[in-house]
Amino acid sequence: MAEIYLTRGGFEKLRKELEYLKNTKRREISKAIGEARLQGDLSENAEYDAAKEAQGHCEARIAELEGKLSNVRIIEDLNIPADKIYIGARVTLLDVKSSEEVQYMLVSPEEADFEANKLSMLSPIGKGLMGKAVGQEVELEVPAGKLKYKILKIERP
Protein backbone atom coordinates (compact mmCIF):
# COMPACT_ATOMS: atom_id res chain seq x y z
CA MET A 1 0.00 0.00 0.00
CA ALA A 2 1.28 3.48 -0.86
CA GLU A 3 2.13 6.06 1.77
CA ILE A 4 -0.81 8.07 3.07
CA TYR A 5 -0.23 11.67 4.10
CA LEU A 6 -2.37 12.94 6.96
CA THR A 7 -2.38 15.82 9.38
CA ARG A 8 -1.91 14.84 13.00
CA GLY A 9 -5.65 15.51 13.53
CA GLY A 10 -6.58 13.27 10.60
CA PHE A 11 -4.36 10.51 11.94
CA GLU A 12 -5.98 10.76 15.38
CA LYS A 13 -9.46 10.65 13.85
CA LEU A 14 -8.69 7.40 12.00
CA ARG A 15 -6.95 5.94 15.05
CA LYS A 16 -9.97 6.70 17.25
CA GLU A 17 -12.34 5.18 14.69
CA LEU A 18 -10.23 2.01 14.63
CA GLU A 19 -10.19 1.86 18.42
CA TYR A 20 -14.00 2.28 18.54
CA LEU A 21 -14.57 -0.44 15.94
CA LYS A 22 -12.25 -2.91 17.66
CA ASN A 23 -13.28 -2.27 21.26
CA THR A 24 -16.94 -1.24 21.11
CA LYS A 25 -18.54 -2.06 17.77
CA ARG A 26 -17.18 -5.61 17.65
CA ARG A 27 -18.72 -6.33 21.08
CA GLU A 28 -22.07 -4.84 20.04
CA ILE A 29 -22.17 -6.96 16.88
CA SER A 30 -21.08 -10.09 18.74
CA LYS A 31 -23.88 -9.54 21.26
CA ALA A 32 -26.43 -9.05 18.43
CA ILE A 33 -25.26 -12.28 16.77
CA GLY A 34 -25.59 -14.16 20.08
CA GLU A 35 -29.11 -12.82 20.67
CA ALA A 36 -30.15 -13.67 17.11
CA ARG A 37 -28.84 -17.25 17.53
CA LEU A 38 -31.11 -17.70 20.53
CA GLN A 39 -34.14 -17.13 18.30
CA GLY A 40 -33.70 -20.53 16.71
CA ASP A 41 -33.48 -21.49 13.04
CA LEU A 42 -30.64 -19.46 11.49
CA SER A 43 -31.65 -20.19 7.90
CA GLU A 44 -34.61 -17.78 8.06
CA ASN A 45 -33.37 -15.42 10.76
CA ALA A 46 -33.21 -11.85 9.40
CA GLU A 47 -31.66 -10.48 12.60
CA TYR A 48 -28.86 -13.02 12.40
CA ASP A 49 -28.23 -12.25 8.72
CA ALA A 50 -28.16 -8.50 9.41
CA ALA A 51 -25.77 -8.92 12.33
CA LYS A 52 -23.42 -11.14 10.29
CA GLU A 53 -23.48 -8.58 7.46
CA ALA A 54 -22.68 -5.79 9.94
CA GLN A 55 -19.83 -7.92 11.27
CA GLY A 56 -18.41 -8.28 7.74
CA HIS A 57 -18.55 -4.53 7.14
CA CYS A 58 -16.96 -3.82 10.51
CA GLU A 59 -14.11 -6.28 9.95
CA ALA A 60 -13.50 -4.89 6.45
CA ARG A 61 -13.30 -1.33 7.80
CA ILE A 62 -10.94 -2.46 10.59
CA ALA A 63 -8.65 -4.08 8.02
CA GLU A 64 -8.79 -0.96 5.82
CA LEU A 65 -7.95 1.35 8.73
CA GLU A 66 -5.11 -0.87 9.96
CA GLY A 67 -3.65 -0.86 6.44
CA LYS A 68 -3.91 2.90 6.13
CA LEU A 69 -2.54 3.63 9.58
CA SER A 70 0.45 1.38 8.99
CA ASN A 71 1.43 3.54 6.00
CA VAL A 72 0.75 7.02 7.40
CA ARG A 73 3.21 9.88 7.20
CA ILE A 74 2.29 12.89 9.32
CA ILE A 75 2.38 16.05 7.20
CA GLU A 76 3.63 18.23 10.05
CA ASP A 77 6.72 16.03 10.36
CA LEU A 78 7.75 16.52 6.73
CA ASN A 79 10.05 19.23 5.46
CA ILE A 80 7.68 20.78 2.91
CA PRO A 81 8.49 24.21 1.45
CA ALA A 82 6.20 26.91 2.86
CA ASP A 83 6.39 29.27 -0.12
CA LYS A 84 4.35 27.06 -2.46
CA ILE A 85 1.10 25.16 -2.17
CA TYR A 86 1.57 21.51 -1.27
CA ILE A 87 -0.32 19.03 0.91
CA GLY A 88 -0.98 20.43 4.36
CA ALA A 89 -1.00 24.06 3.21
CA ARG A 90 -3.78 26.40 4.27
CA VAL A 91 -4.34 28.84 1.39
CA THR A 92 -6.28 32.05 1.16
CA LEU A 93 -7.59 32.75 -2.31
CA LEU A 94 -9.35 35.68 -3.90
CA ASP A 95 -12.14 34.70 -6.27
CA VAL A 96 -11.38 37.09 -9.14
CA LYS A 97 -14.97 37.03 -10.40
CA SER A 98 -16.80 37.67 -7.11
CA SER A 99 -13.98 39.39 -5.13
CA GLU A 100 -14.70 37.00 -2.24
CA GLU A 101 -11.90 35.47 -0.20
CA VAL A 102 -11.99 31.74 0.42
CA GLN A 103 -9.70 29.60 2.51
CA TYR A 104 -8.90 25.93 1.97
CA MET A 105 -6.54 23.39 3.43
CA LEU A 106 -5.13 20.83 1.01
CA VAL A 107 -5.21 17.34 2.49
CA SER A 108 -5.10 13.71 1.38
CA PRO A 109 -8.31 12.17 -0.01
CA GLU A 110 -8.80 10.26 3.28
CA GLU A 111 -9.04 13.52 5.19
CA ALA A 112 -11.01 15.62 2.70
CA ASP A 113 -14.10 17.35 4.13
CA PHE A 114 -15.62 20.09 1.99
CA GLU A 115 -17.79 21.31 4.88
CA ALA A 116 -14.59 22.00 6.87
CA ASN A 117 -12.84 23.55 3.83
CA LYS A 118 -10.44 20.62 3.62
CA LEU A 119 -9.94 19.82 -0.06
CA SER A 120 -8.32 16.72 -1.44
CA MET A 121 -5.07 17.43 -3.21
CA LEU A 122 -6.48 15.17 -5.95
CA SER A 123 -9.64 17.27 -6.45
CA PRO A 124 -9.78 19.61 -9.47
CA ILE A 125 -9.09 22.64 -7.25
CA GLY A 126 -6.37 20.82 -5.29
CA LYS A 127 -4.57 19.68 -8.43
CA GLY A 128 -4.77 23.15 -9.93
CA LEU A 129 -3.28 24.82 -6.85
CA MET A 130 -0.40 22.41 -6.24
CA GLY A 131 3.01 24.01 -6.62
CA LYS A 132 1.64 27.54 -7.05
CA ALA A 133 2.94 30.56 -5.10
CA VAL A 134 1.53 33.74 -3.53
CA GLY A 135 0.56 36.32 -6.14
CA GLN A 136 -0.11 33.81 -8.91
CA GLU A 137 -3.48 33.66 -10.62
CA VAL A 138 -4.88 30.26 -11.51
CA GLU A 139 -7.78 29.27 -13.71
CA LEU A 140 -9.29 25.97 -12.65
CA GLU A 141 -11.67 23.70 -14.53
CA VAL A 142 -14.27 22.23 -12.18
CA PRO A 143 -17.50 20.35 -12.94
CA ALA A 144 -19.50 23.57 -12.45
CA GLY A 145 -17.33 25.53 -14.91
CA LYS A 146 -14.20 27.63 -14.59
CA LEU A 147 -12.92 29.32 -11.46
CA LYS A 148 -10.25 31.99 -11.37
CA TYR A 149 -8.36 32.64 -8.16
CA LYS A 150 -5.50 34.84 -7.05
CA ILE A 151 -3.36 33.28 -4.32
CA LEU A 152 -3.18 35.71 -1.39
CA LYS A 153 -1.58 33.68 1.39
CA ILE A 154 -0.02 30.27 2.09
CA GLU A 155 0.30 29.02 5.64
CA ARG A 156 1.51 25.82 7.25
CA PRO A 157 -0.42 24.84 10.39
4-75 against 80-155: fold identical: no
Whether domain 80-155 has CATH 3.10.50.30: yes
pLDDT tens digits along 98-156? 999 999 999 999 899 989 999 999 999 999 999 999 999 999 988 888 999 999 999 98
Instruction: Look at phi and psi of residue 65 and say left if phi exceeds 0, alpha if psi is from -120 to 50, else beta.
Output: alpha
pLDDT of residue 9 exceeding 70, the answer is: yes
DSSP 84: B
Any idea where the domains of the chain sit in the sequence? 4-75, 80-155
| pLDDT score recorded for residue 43 | 72
> What pLDDT score does 1 carry?
66
Task: Give the class (CATH, top level) of 4-75.
Answer: mainly alpha
Alpha-carbon span 46 to 38, nearest angstrom = 13
53-57, Cβ contacts within 8 angstroms, sequence gap of 24 or more: 54/29, 55/29, 55/30
Query: Pairing relation of β-strands 4-6 and 101-107?
Result: unpaired
pLDDT, tens digit (0-9, with 9 covering 90-100), for 55-78: 999 999 999 999 999 999 888 767
